[in-house]
A and B are shown apart, each in its own frame.
Chain A
Amino acid sequence: MKFEWFVASRYLLSRRKQSFISIISVISIAGVGLGVATVILVIAVLDGVEHGLRERFLANEAHVVLRLVDHSFFSEYQDKIERITQVEGVVAASPVVYSQMGVFQTGQKSLTDAIYIKGIDPEQEDKVTSFSQYVSGSVDFKTSPLIEEAELREGETISGGIVLGYRLASQLGLTEGDVLRLVVKLEENTMSMGSPTLFVDFANFVVIGVYESELAIYDSRIGYIDLDTAQELYGNLGKVNVILVRLEDSEMASELRHEIKDAAQFTTTFEYPTTTTWLETHAPLFAALKMEKIATVIIEALIILVAAFNIASTLIMTVMEKTKDIGTLRTLGASRGNITRIFMIQGSIIGMLGTFAGSALGLGLCWLLSTNVARPHLWIGFGTVALLILCQIVLMYKRLIPNPKVKKIGLSLLWIVGICFALYCFVTPISLKELGFSEIYQMNQLPIKVNWFFVCFINLLSFVICWFATIYPAWQASNLKPIEALQYE
């Protein structure tokens, strides 16, 4: 151990006389630690939200959506899909009839809701999104036995099966086998005499499955029907209004969108194609998340800065308390550089301990919040804390361990292990579903994703801030004149 490290570490660990300063050192370490732990945890949650949303968006959505500017239908879509799939970087493409329909619930004489309907070919859709993966029930829109059963039961024509988002199904009070009446068209009847009347075209569907993607925007708004049925209902046989495209690399969407549009070859007059990427669709959300992360880092950096001021004040007090020692060391031949380094090392050790303790706490909490394993009962956690306090009191007043060093190390270890175990009992993954936040946050469990690059960055940032905090007190110490320091009272 070098001379400066030798002196600095002794000043840090020594509890003789200046126990007040030792307590402040501990508070400084705790301050830095809490700042670092909080920032790691908050950023892990924000990253988890972003990552979770991305994963879900990418599983449920196409990377590029091709349509006409006026949302109208276009023909020869299979040829277009064939050409699009030949574009390098494109994995698959799928035709979709995308529309909105009104819900006409049995027993009610008015429209109760409007939902989005996607007419899809399940086989092709699965190549673009993970549709079937999220469906419980059947995706057999045309031949599900539930259709025939419903026809016999209701005595009405059934257009086919429908897969509803599970939230939507729940809102409408529908389960598998129930019939849903949808308003396909609502047109003014221009042939009627007198006051204008509306021409309403209904279609009945049987719920054959529910779709649960954990994304509220899908689970509460969309119903899936067969592509042919949708085309038939809209009188657009052989036509679709959307082509969904999946890429090898979702991040290439912006680069490939123009190639995809060109490959589709819309040649007919008044057909103006346009493409939308998945990133564009969710740009405001990702921008908001990014902004939130930046704001969090700034706020947390300020917390660490406050903790660093604490380090500075601890060191200034240490310098005042050690003035005579500084005089002695200068008398023994220590240079100003030696003295500067002693106090900078002392402050840096505080910063380093705080940073590492904070990282351990932050990462530990991230692990606890993301690990779904059975935990001991909460009372065992409370019991552990009570036992720790009892041990502390007993060891404080009874001389069970005569060696103070052994006692100190033993108690410290006991507290560390005890608190870790108590946290293991108390901190469990947070269910947003149970808290009723799953619709707001689009997911059922508080997501956690540790960004190791950021953990390294915040460790470095915290250490640098703490290091800067040591400069003034160390400079102050080194500037003391030996004689004045020796005569300091």
Chain B
Amino acid sequence: MDKLIRIDNLHKSFYDGESELKVLKGVNLDVHKSEILAIMGASGVGKSTLLHIIGTLDRPSDGSIFYEDQDITKFSENELTHFRNDAIGFVFQFHQMLPEFTALENVVMSRLIKNSKRGSSVDAKSSDSNDFYETAEKLLDSVGLSDRLNHYPSQLSGGERQRVAIARALMNNPKVVLADEPTGNIDDKTSDAVLDVLWDVNERLNQTFIIVTHDSRISERAKRTVQLIDGKIAE
């Protein structure tokens, strides 16, 4: 199986005044293309920290992360921002939707950001951006929300918001989608529906997922599950 991400001896420490808190103590992990990898572990063990570092939202204290042989730990702030926009999709526990924008606008947002970086003259409401909106509509349709396009987050249920977040994560056709407790804030029935969507996307689009979770149902369904114990990965 093709390797997408290689994590090499990753360390992360936090400093509180004079004391040092070592959270990750030499994480080594490979993530393969098209797999759903579940990372499990006790609360406070550093699962989210690891996910944030993989997602370029935070920098490691030591070690390397290779995306198809590109060491992203060497990237500048600007390069990381570009990389995040291009290659990574996020799904968070609390969905992190933008409340002033409709479901459709939330989904299309990352593509608008991508365009603004490339200095494109395509604007958010021009006919040229219709393609983006069509893509976003298709994505929302694929997660079962074709009738909720113009609803604001406050008008959606928890499960619907999480499905919008999944559609948003897929908008820029990322290399990997990182999900942090995607079912942590919704009931079991809704969780099943959200997980069905994730697995469906994985099958249809061969989309790679890394899911940090406590939810045993995810680990049961995931192709591969690893445990984070005492700052290290145990397969």
Enumerate chain A interface residues (CB-CB to B < 8 A): 1-6, 10-11, 14, 16-17, 324-325, 327-336, 338, 482-483, 486
Contact = CB atoms under 8 A, between A and B. Distances in A.
Contacts of B112: 3, 6
Interface stretch (B37-45, B90-98, B195-203, B206-214): B90-98
A331 B84 contact: yes
Interface of B: 52, 55, 57-58, 77-78, 81-82, 84-86, 90, 92, 96-101, 109-110, 112-117, 123-126, 152, 154, 168, 172
A6 B81 CA distance: 20
Contacts of B92: 486
Contacts of B113: 3, 329, 332-334, 338
A365 B152 CA distance: 42
Q: Which 10 A-B pairs have the closest CB atoms?
A: A333-B85, A6-B124, A3-B116, A3-B112, A14-B100, A332-B110, A1-B124, A328-B96, A1-B123, A335-B81
B115 A3 contact: yes
A291 B100 CA distance: 50
Given A325-B100, A486-B92, 14 more contacts: A3-B113, A6-B125, A324-B96, A331-B96, A332-B84, A332-B85, A332-B168, A333-B110, A333-B114, A333-B117, A333-B172, A334-B81, A335-B78, A483-B52
14 contacts: A1-B125, A3-B124, A6-B123, A10-B101, A16-B154, A325-B99, A327-B96, A329-B113, A332-B90, A332-B109, A332-B168, A333-B114, A333-B172, A336-B81
Contacts of A332: 84-85, 90, 109-110, 113, 168
B74 to A, nearest CB: 19
Contacts of A483: 52, 57-58
B57 to A, nearest CB: 5
Contacts of A324: 96
A335 B92 CA distance: 20
Contacts of B125: 1, 6
A4 B92 CA distance: 24
A338 to B, nearest CB: 6
Contacts of A482: 57
Nearest to B96: A328
A327 B58 CA distance: 12
A11 B57 contact: no
B116 A2 contact: yes
A485 to B, nearest CB: 10
A331 B116 contact: no
Nearest to A4: B116
A334 B77 CA distance: 12
Could you tell me the dominant secondary structure of chain A's interface residues?
Answer: helix
B154 to A, nearest CB: 7
A345 to B, nearest CB: 12
Nearest to B77: A336
A338 B92 CA distance: 22
A195 B96 CA distance: 109
A2 B117 CA distance: 11
A17 B85 contact: no
Contacts of A330: 57, 81
A298 B172 CA distance: 52
Contacts of B154: 16
B117 A335 contact: yes
B16 to A, nearest CB: 15
Contacts of A486: 57, 92, 96
Interface centre among B81, B92, B101 (most CB of A within 10 A): B81
A416 to B, nearest CB: 25
B82 A325 contact: no
Interface centre among B57, B58, B101, B114 (most CB of A within 10 A): B57
Contact of B100 (A5, A16, A334): A16
A338 B99 contact: no
A117 to B, nearest CB: 76
Interface centre among B58, B110, B113, B172 (most CB of A within 10 A): B113
A328 B126 CA distance: 24
Contact of B124 (A2, A11, A327): A2
Contact of B82 (A17, A327, A328, A333): A333
B15 to A, nearest CB: 15
Contacts of A14: 100
A331 B168 CA distance: 11
A334 B152 CA distance: 21
A9 to B, nearest CB: 10
A486 B85 CA distance: 16
Contacts of B168: 332
B100 A331 contact: no
A378 to B, nearest CB: 44
Contacts of A10: 100-101
Contacts of B109: 3, 329, 332
B155 to A, nearest CB: 11
Contact of B99 (A3, A17, A327): A17
A338 B99 CA distance: 19
A334 B115 CA distance: 11
Contacts of A338: 113, 116-117
A449 to B, nearest CB: 42
A332 B55 CA distance: 11
Contacts of B126: 1
Contacts of A331: 55, 57, 84, 90, 96
A212 to B, nearest CB: 63
B59 to A, nearest CB: 10
A333 B78 contact: no
A335 B76 CA distance: 12
Contacts of A329: 98, 109, 113
Nearest to B92: A486
Contacts of B81: 330, 333-336
